[in-house]
Structure 1
Amino acid sequence: MTLFQTVTILIVLTALGGYLNHRLLHLPPTIGLMAIALVSSLTLVALGETGVVEVHKYARFVPSIDFGDLVFHGFLAFLLFAGALHVDLADLYKVKWTVTILSTLGTIISTFVIGALFWCAAHSFGYDLRFIYALLFGALISPTDPIAVLGIIKKAGAPKDQETRITGESLFNDGVGAVIFLTILDIATGRSEPSIASVLWFFVQEALGGIALGWFLGWVVFQLFRKIDDYQVEVLLSIALCMGSYALADAIRMSGPIAVVVAGLFLGNSGRKPALSVPTQDYLGTFWQLIDEILNSLLFLLIGLEILAIKETGTYLILGLVGIACVLIGRGISVLIPIRIMSFVVSFPRGTITLLTWGGLRGALSIALAFLLPQGHQRELILTTTYIVVIFSILVQGLTFGPLLRKIVPLTEDN
């Protein structure tokens, strides 16, 4: 199957799924599409088990898509840039310490807590899971996925400070989580020595290097914006900044996700009003909003279809359900500790820990990281568990976050 045919199938399925969701389900677009794809995939699997349909013919289509590469070297750059472009830097600055500590210390705590809990759970089910692979699961599942979070939090109508905390953390902790995951993966596969100095240097090079590169490239494009007034050229420059910052960071061993987020933040705040005319601002905003919605729809459709790529079931599914509890406990602890520490100098509305814990959705990023693991039974175990956690996160947490928010918001307003 050619690339054009593959893209055509995905676009057609996305369009049909979006239409059905709009007419029948009335769910948030991303959740509705994933639910439709998930039900369709499960139906195919059930029909295949009964012999009614030769499901292997359909199952070959999904594994033909390199999900990890598609996310990391395709969708992620555009979705992070579009999300960062619409974040108000002034609002983000007000919660800078919360976002910074949660996306760094919180992600590290979550990695080790979830890893330890999952390792104990796996061994209790009789699986010989190496502890370092349990840590890999903790690292890949710890980041709250910005692709999932941004679309759902906006629809929920969260107070501005809470929305900024959740979205700001999700924009940055995916880059931190990816750095932690790749560091542990290098150690697990023997590509690097597990010394503290090498780990710290890798983290500094990836994270701080990504921040510096994104800020510099954003400033360069801002200077170009100031000298012209042509929306077509300026939209093209924004695409070049998005793709160029991510690709260059990736090529020189810096964090592409962090670089593209910082570039988007710079352009969306320093570059929009002083450098762009009002019509160009409208064109730019509309273009990136459309890109965000289309790619989000495609990605969540793929998440629903990915069940066809899972080869192991049985007790793997049971362990996946236990994995949900491990992730929620780990997320709660990773939020509770930093918030309690910061509460001595920063005041938080009541309900902050609950909202941050339940609003920490997992999505395509976690699945993409799981696909990077070496082939073997440990990979299949982690991939299956990751998929189950992501499905629960988006369908259950995503659909119930709004009601939970409406229950807590009156408390926060009274505080």
Structure 2
Amino acid sequence: MLIVETIILIISLLIVANIISHYFVSIPASLIQIVAGVIAAVTINVKISVNTEWFLLVFIAPILFNDGNRFPKKELWKLKGPIMGNAIILVIVSTVVGGALVKFLMPSLPWATAFTLVAVLSPTDPIAVQSIAKKAKLPDKLMHLISGESLINDASGLICFKYAVAATVTGAFSLANATIDFFYIAIIGALVGAVMIWIFNGVRLYLINQGIDDSILHAIIQILIPFIIYYVAEDVFHVSGVVAVVIAGILNISSSRTTGAFSPEIRLVTSRTWDMLVYLLNGFVFVLLGIEIPFAMEELIHNQSMNTIKALGFAFVIWVMLTVIRFLWSYFYSTFFERSDRTDFNFFSKARFYYCLMSGISGVRGAVTMVAILSLPFVTDSGAAFPARTLLLFIASAVIIYSLIGATILIPLITKNSAPITYRGNAINTDDDDDEDVDVDNSADDTEVVSTNPNTLSVEKANRIVIEKTINKLREENKNGRDPVYTTVIAEYVFNLHNIQLQSDGPNPISKKRIKGKKDAELWDICFNCELEAIEELYAANEISDDAYQTAVKRIEKYKRDLVKHHYNQTVEFFVAYFKRTVKEISKVIHIPFTKREEVVQYNREAIKISIAGSRRALEKLRELEETDSEIAYDNLLYLFQRHYEERLELLQGRRRNHSEQFNIDKVNLEVNALSFQRAFVLDLLEQGRISRATANTLRKNINYSEEVINYDI
């Protein structure tokens, strides 16, 4: 009963604090939550003891998994140098230098305890400055750097923190053993996270493939993933659960709308569920911090060698020290490692100075630091109290408050702009106004319409009609028929229409290996013949070698033989294809010595030339069929196949990876317009009496989900 009462109390404090924060938008909500915890501790004498193990499991696992899942993956590789430098080298430098300074400030503090304090302060919280990034015009590169650094230094900092705590608790520390153990638990932890998320991703995709697309079910599975991975890594394999959940988050199937296997409803519900969970977890952390502060202050008051004022001063010095170290490191790295022209050396640059200054101040400490500091054990192995636990808690919380206030005040001053500040989990999109078109009236009148009008369409048939009308509308606007934005969006709609017509198990793309119908087989046979013709021409002109020719011909002929093999075990085929996709993705990153020669050849220059020639020939044939008005006979499959080969050409020629920012903006705008077309067509069907009001509500709800996902991504 005590646990339930505590949870209700903290949630109540969190709600009150967040309501107040709406009236004081310039004050970080986290600071108000801390104050709420302080007031609760002082007025009603609330005191909460937390267990280290479950605290790490409940708070660390989901927060880091969510950070990894939402990290901009493309930027991780582009900024790998500065990210790894900030996340590893800067953490080590800060820990060594900071630990020495803490020992100098507080000589009575053991060395291990001093390093523990600085290690726990190393993880940064990028969400604390993301809300002001747009209005304050922080550089995109800086924001990506902060996000990537935070993701990695959460892991590296917490591992260092773990060793520092272990050294304090046991009284023994071996640098050699710690280094070996560090790499072991980090590497094996990463492997555990990668393998387990691969399994979870496969299970979720298989459920979709089997038609199990309940959005609540998938949201629950998604929420459970980090807890299971953290537990298995820590308790089964005895490796770093922190590293495991970070890697799992990075490799997790994203909730963005580019993940075509999941419906907009699943993606939206999952994203919103994560928002709520992380929002609560962060609120819990800061309220708990506020509850702990008065008791830490009380002990400091009775401490003969340390008082509250002195502790606040030490905390301020430590925050300034960490900011200066971060600034100096950023300036050093950008000066010596990021110069575009190595011959033109300029040590001082005003622009670089302000960039590095913003980088230093942006190193805000937040939820992960608080989770770690609150997890400090109360006693050592000898039974003695953990050295200066309340002092460490107080100083860490003060540094967090200093960093939040510093970023709130100084960043807008540097950029000459201002905006409210938020933190992890408090950056929920609030631009999703309810659509007025949705009629939630599901009264008995709707049932009567359905039962008395035999001409009303089912949801599936009405959805197909709406999509067909939307495709036609988009084609009318795409006058030249070759606008890449229109062709991309139309292809997505044709995908959906094709799967509806075939009553597919899921929105899977067309596949050479899984023929869904006679018309698929006919078109694939035509395309394969075209590819074979292109291969023969290249070989006759001596433009490809015998090996490349034989490999390509065998591959196409195998596909042609498979056209007549329609019988397959769906489950076996799914997991075989999933495994092969994984091997293919891994082979792109590292070269596997035992890779078959045929698999290596497909990546060389001749294989690319063959694929380009075959795709062009097949595309010409498909367009020729389109001009002979055969499209109706193939139920829009011609357009689908055309887009398939167009995307293959874009990928082979390097155009697909380099879509301009304007292309992405135009695509989003067109997707929003297409959804408005769908709403209009739903209204037409309703006014014509062809669908019931309940069916119209269902269709509108699906449209709203799609629009919400677009808005959420933006």
- TM-score, normalised to structure 2, is 0.50
Distance 2:339 2:278 in 1: 33
- Alpha-carbon spacing, 1:352–1:218, altered in 2? closer, same or farther (3 Å): farther
Q: What is the CA distance between 1:67 and its match in structure 2?
A: 6.9
- Alpha-carbon spacing, 1:377–1:184, altered in 2? closer, same or farther (3 Å): closer
Bigger mean CA deviation after superposition, 241-250 or 230-239: 230-239
Equivalence map 1:291-370=2 (5 Å): 291-310=277-296, 311-314=298-301, 315-317=306-308, 318-334=310-326, 336-337=328-329, 340-341=332-333, 343-347=335-339, 350=352, 351-370=354-373
Give 1:47's aligned residue.
Answer: none
- 1:399 matches 2:408: yes
Q: What is the CA distance between 1:313 and its match in structure 2?
A: 2.7
Distance 2:7 2:259 in 1: 36
- 1:204 matches 2:183: yes
Distance 1:401 1:295 in 2: 27
The size of the alignment, in residue pairs, is 384
Bigger mean CA deviation after superposition, 225-234 or 102-111: 225-234
Which of 163, 167, 189 is residue 183 of structure 1 equivalent to? 163
Gaps in structure 1 of 5+ consecutive residues? 45-54, 410-415
Give 1:390's aligned residue.
Answer: 400
Q: Given that residues 141 and 327 in structure 1 are in contact (C-alpha distance below 8 angstroms), is that contact kept between their aligned partners in structure 2?
A: no
- Alpha-carbon spacing, 1:228–1:183, altered in 2? closer, same or farther (3 Å): same
Could you say what secondary structure the match of 2:388 adopts? Answer: helix
Q: Which amino acid aligns with 2:19?
A: Y
Give 1:220's aligned residue.
Answer: 199
Identity percentage over the alignment?
Answer: 22
Q: Which amino acid aligns with 2:290?
A: G
Q: What is the CA distance between 1:41 and its match in structure 2?
A: 5.7
- Alpha-carbon spacing, 1:249–1:404, altered in 2? closer, same or farther (3 Å): farther
Structure 1 residues 293-315: Cα deviation after superposition (integer angstroms, max 9, x where no partner): 22222322222222133132354
- 1:137 matches 2:117: yes
Give 1:48's aligned residue.
Answer: none
Equivalence map 1:12-91=2 (5 Å): 12-23=12-23, 27-38=27-38, 40=39, 44=42, 58-59=44-45, 61-62=46-47, 64-66=48-50, 68-69=52-53, 71-91=55-75
Which of 277, 280, 284 is residue 270 of structure 2 equivalent to? 284
Distance 2:322 2:300 in 1: 25
Q: Given that residues 210 and 256 in structure 1 are in contact (C-alpha distance below 8 angstroms), is that contact kept between their aligned partners in structure 2?
A: yes
- Alpha-carbon spacing, 1:347–1:41, altered in 2? closer, same or farther (3 Å): farther
Give 1:263's aligned residue.
Answer: 248
Structure 1 residues 199-242: Cα deviation after superposition (integer angstroms, max 9, x where no partner): 11221123222222222222222222322331233222212221
Aligned-CA RMSD value: 2.9
Q: What is the CA distance between 1:255 and its match in structure 2?
A: 2.0
- Alpha-carbon spacing, 1:299–1:186, altered in 2? closer, same or farther (3 Å): closer
Could you say what secondary structure the match of 2:239 adopts? Answer: coil
Distance 1:136 1:228 in 2: 45
Distance 1:294 1:282 in 2: 18
- Alpha-carbon spacing, 1:401–1:77, altered in 2? closer, same or farther (3 Å): farther
- 1:379 matches 2:359: no
Q: Given that residues 109 and 387 in structure 2 are in contact (C-alpha distance below 8 angstroms), is that contact kept between their aligned partners in structure 1?
A: no
Could you say what secondary structure the match of 1:246 adopts? Answer: helix
Q: Given that residues 83 and 150 in structure 1 are in contact (C-alpha distance below 8 angstroms), is that contact kept between their aligned partners in structure 2?
A: no
Distance 2:299 2:133 in 1: 35
Distance 2:247 2:410 in 1: 28
Q: What is the CA distance between 1:178 and its match in structure 2?
A: 1.6
Give 2:130's aligned residue.
Answer: 153
Q: Given that residues 316 and 381 in structure 1 are in contact (C-alpha distance below 8 angstroms), is that contact kept between their aligned partners in structure 2?
A: no
Distance 1:31 1:370 in 2: 17
- Alpha-carbon spacing, 1:398–1:346, altered in 2? closer, same or farther (3 Å): same
Q: Which amino acid aligns with 2:223?
A: I
Q: Which amino acid aligns with 1:96?
A: K
Distance 2:164 2:414 in 1: 36
Give 2:545's aligned residue.
Answer: none
- Alpha-carbon spacing, 1:381–1:31, altered in 2? closer, same or farther (3 Å): closer
Structure 1 residues 109-146: Cα deviation after superposition (integer angstroms, max 9, x where no partner): 101111111111113xxxx22223222222222222x3
Distance 2:123 2:307 in 1: 22
Q: Given that residues 120 and 158 in structure 2 are in contact (C-alpha distance below 8 angstroms), is that contact kept between their aligned partners in structure 1?
A: yes
- Alpha-carbon spacing, 1:26–1:3, altered in 2? closer, same or farther (3 Å): same
Distance 1:298 1:282 in 2: 24
Equivalence map 1:90-169=2 (5 Å): 90-123=74-107, 128-144=108-124, 146=125, 149-157=126-134, 158-169=138-149
Q: Which amino acid aligns with 2:7?
A: V
Give 2:261's aligned residue.
Answer: 275
Q: What is the CA distance between 1:9 and its match in structure 2?
A: 0.9
- Alpha-carbon spacing, 1:217–1:13, altered in 2? closer, same or farther (3 Å): same
Distance 1:85 1:401 in 2: 30
- Alpha-carbon spacing, 1:262–1:20, altered in 2? closer, same or farther (3 Å): same
- Alpha-carbon spacing, 1:299–1:253, altered in 2? closer, same or farther (3 Å): same
Structure 1 residues 48-93: Cα deviation after superposition (integer angstroms, max 9, x where no partner): xxxxxxx5xx33x22x331755641212222222222222201222
Q: Which amino acid aligns with 1:14?
A: L
Structure 1 residues 152-197: Cα deviation after superposition (integer angstroms, max 9, x where no partner): 423443433211211221122122112112223323333654141x
Higher relative contact order (CA 8 A, sep 6+): 1
- 1:249 matches 2:241: no
Structure 1 residues 330-352: Cα deviation after superposition (integer angstroms, max 9, x where no partner): 34325533652464342597233
The structure that has the greater radius of gyration is 2
Q: Which amino acid aligns with 2:338?
A: V
Distance 1:32 1:223 in 2: 42
Distance 1:26 1:345 in 2: 37
- Alpha-carbon spacing, 1:151–1:81, altered in 2? closer, same or farther (3 Å): farther
Q: Given that residues 135 and 184 in structure 1 are in contact (C-alpha distance below 8 angstroms), is that contact kept between their aligned partners in structure 2?
A: yes
Q: Given that residues 326 and 359 in structure 2 are in contact (C-alpha distance below 8 angstroms), is that contact kept between their aligned partners in structure 1?
A: no
Distance 2:329 2:26 in 1: 38
Q: Given that residues 13 and 33 in structure 2 are in contact (C-alpha distance below 8 angstroms), is that contact kept between their aligned partners in structure 1?
A: no
Q: Which amino acid aligns with 1:33?
A: Q
Give 1:49's aligned residue.
Answer: none
- Alpha-carbon spacing, 1:161–1:70, altered in 2? closer, same or farther (3 Å): farther
Could you say what secondary structure the match of 1:129 adopts? Answer: coil
Gaps in structure 2 of 5+ consecutive residues? 341-350, 380-384, 419-714
Give 1:51's aligned residue.
Answer: none
Q: Which amino acid aligns with 2:325?
A: I
Q: Which amino acid aligns with 1:391?
A: I
